[in-house]
């Protein structure tokens, strides 16, 4: 089927435009058994395999698309356009509040956009349509370009954002909770390709496979191609600290340990940043002092896309991307077993002393 794909934001990227367009085209191509493209200014005409429902399902999950429409095309000839418009009008059943919205980018076409509106409006009138330009329920869009005319009556919303991959690879610290998978999605939306690192609390790592963690990754991956899930054991932190960290500081030191481990992965595997689901002051380890302390000695850039969000906003997003139900399923996360009364203001000087304690074996 022929689909007109708009990508507003990446249309703004000037010299980088071809790279963004190529990334988006590659993503779309991978999602369909067959996909061919005609590039027009700041949009594609794609010929995609599948039916309307399956194509809609796929395109509405591809980041970088601002909207898409199933279109009919014809040549830039006034009579041919009129005929095509009439054949489309005959398929429309809701005739009460109708409008035509023509846009002419090919200035060689002999009629202006308002003149095309009038021409098709007249035909609609003859077929019993009531024209309503203030609050139409059905609009016939007509785009006249130098590649031909595109006609469509519905615009499906896309997710917006940038195509996955154009901002590089990053590593998300994934917990079993609500926030981190939403944070991963937010950065996918800014063009990041996301892999995951989870600290588990099982004695045997193979038990992670049957937990909700790989399922969460699978759901988040619906917005990108399959990712890698790296696992580390909480017990490695316990072995290192051997109970030398006072309970009130344990959470912040552990968060720092997770970030420093993620930092090593970034250096070894070339990730450009670490993502966390931190939201300012949401829990004890997320006060500004503690965020500073947890970031101590971490060289890689840490992205915290949810920092200014409140929990309800995060939950809405988790529902939208489909991770919410899994996130609230019971799971023995490392942080949940730590002291309930964690210190809320760990200064860097204290952090240094705490890390020294670990080194003194």
Binding region for ligand ATP (CB under 6 A): 173-175, 177-180, 198-199, 258, 276-278, 282-283, 285-286, 333-335
Smallest gap from residue 99 Cβ to ligand ATP (A): 45
Q: Cα separation of 319 and 99, whole Å? A: 35
- Residue 156 pairs with which residues in a beta bridge? 68
E strands, the chain, in order:
2-6, 35-40, 43-48, 67-70, 72-74, 98-104, 138-145, 148-152, 156-157, 168-173, 192-200, 229-233, 273-275, 301-303
* Residue 99 and residue 200 in contact, taking contact as beta carbons nearer than 8 Å: no
Smallest gap from residue 131 Cβ to ligand ATP (A): 51
What 3-state DSSP class applies to 319?
Answer: helix
- Which CB, 129 or 237, lies closer to ligand ATP? 237
Token couple for 20: 């963004």
Among ligand ATP, Mg ion, none, what binds residue 166 when CB lies within 5 to 8 Å by partner kind? none
- Which CB, 67 or 285, lies closer to ligand ATP? 285
- Which CB, 7 or 237, lies closer to ligand ATP? 237
- Which CB, 66 or 276, lies closer to Mg ion? 276
- Which CB, 124 or 197, lies closer to Mg ion? 197
What's 74-121 look like in SS3?
ECCCHHHHHHHHHHHHCCCCCCCCEEEEEEECCCCCCCCHHHHHHHHH
Smallest gap from residue 252 Cβ to Mg ion (A): 14
* Residue 269 and residue 327 in contact, taking contact as beta carbons nearer than 8 Å: no
- Which CB, 15 or 341, lies closer to ligand ATP? 341
* Residue 49 and residue 202 in contact, taking contact as beta carbons nearer than 8 Å: no
Smallest gap from residue 335 Cβ to Mg ion (A): 5
Does residue number 64 form part of the binding site for Mg ion (CB under 5 A)? no
* Residue 138 and residue 97 in contact, taking contact as beta carbons nearer than 8 Å: yes
Smallest gap from residue 282 Cβ to ligand ATP (A): 5
- Which CB, 131 or 231, lies closer to ligand ATP? 231
Query: 206 burial class (0-12, 13-18, 19+ CB within 10 angstroms)?
Result: exposed
Among Mg ion, ligand ATP, none, what binds residue 199 when CB lies within 5 to 8 Å by partner kind? ligand ATP
Smallest gap from residue 198 Cβ to Mg ion (A): 11
* Residue 150 and residue 71 in contact, taking contact as beta carbons nearer than 8 Å: yes
Among ligand ATP, Mg ion, none, what binds residue 283 when CB lies within 5 to 8 Å by partner kind? ligand ATP
- Residue sitting closest to ligand ATP (CB): 177
- The β-bridge relationship of strands 138-145 and 148-152 is antiparallel
Among Mg ion, ligand ATP, none, what binds residue 27 when CB lies within 5 to 8 Å by partner kind? none
Touching Mg ion, residues 115-154 (CB under 5 A): none
- Which CB, 154 or 209, lies closer to ligand ATP? 209
Number of residues that bind Mg ion (CB under 5 A): 2
Token couple for 278: 């931190």
- The β-bridge relationship of strands 229-233 and 273-275 is unpaired
Binding mask 273-292 for Mg ion (x = CB under 5 A): --------------------
What 3-state DSSP class applies to 196?
Answer: strand
- Which CB, 39 or 207, lies closer to ligand ATP? 207
Among Mg ion, ligand ATP, none, what binds residue 276 when CB lies within 5 to 8 Å by partner kind? ligand ATP
DSSP letter string, 263-290: HHHHHHHT-SEEE----TTSSGGGSHHH
Touching Mg ion, residues 159-178 (CB under 5 A): 175, 177
Among ligand ATP, Mg ion, none, what binds residue 178 when CB lies within 5 to 8 Å by partner kind? ligand ATP
Q: Which residues bind Mg ion (CB under 5 A)?
A: 175, 177
């Amino acid at each position: 089927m022929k689909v007109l794909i708009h990508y507003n934001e990446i249309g703004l990227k000037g010299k980088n435009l071809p790279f963004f367009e190529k990334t988006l085209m590659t993503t779309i191509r991978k999602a369909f058994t067959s996909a061919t493209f005609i590039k027009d200014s700041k949009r594609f005409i794609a010929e995609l395999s599948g039916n309307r429902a399956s194509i809609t399902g796929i395109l509405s999950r591809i980041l970088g698309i601002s909207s898409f429409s199933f279109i009919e095309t014809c040549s830039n000839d006034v009579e041919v356009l009129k005929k095509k418009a009439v054949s489309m009008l005959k398929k429309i059943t809701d005739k009460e509040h109708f409008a035509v919205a023509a846009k002419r980018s090919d200035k060689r076409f002999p009629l202006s956009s308002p003149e095309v509106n009038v021409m098709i409006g007249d035909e609609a009138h003859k077929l019993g349509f009531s024209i309503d330009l203030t609050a139409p329920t059905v609009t016939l869009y007509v785009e006249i370009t130098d590649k031909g005319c595109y006609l469509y009556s519905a615009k499906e919303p896309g997710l917006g954002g940038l195509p996955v991959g154009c901002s590089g690879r990053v590593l998300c610290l994934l917990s079993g909770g609500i926030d981190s998978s939403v944070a991963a999605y937010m950065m996918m939306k800014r063009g990041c390709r996301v892999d995951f690192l989870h600290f588990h609390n099982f004695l045997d790592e193979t038990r992670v496979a049957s937990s909700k963690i790989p399922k969460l990754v699978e759901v988040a991956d619906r917005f990108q191609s399959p990712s890698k899930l790296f696992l580390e054991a909480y017990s490695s932190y316990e072995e290192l600290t051997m109970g030398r960290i006072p309970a009130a500081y344990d959470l912040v030191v552990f968060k720092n340990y997770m970030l420093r481990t993620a930092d090593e992965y970034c250096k070894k595997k070339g990730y450009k940043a670490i993502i966390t689901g931190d939201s300012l002051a949401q829990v004890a380890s997320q006060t500004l002092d503690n965020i500073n302390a947890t970031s101590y000695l971490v060289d890689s850039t840490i992205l915290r896309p949810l920092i200014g969000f409140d929990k309800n906003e995060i939950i809405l997003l988790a529902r939208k991307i489909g991770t919410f139900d899994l996130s609230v399923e019971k799971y023995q996360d490392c942080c949940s077993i730590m002291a309930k009364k964690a210190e809320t203001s760990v200064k860097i000087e204290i952090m240094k002393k705490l890390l020294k304690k670990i080194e003194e074996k």
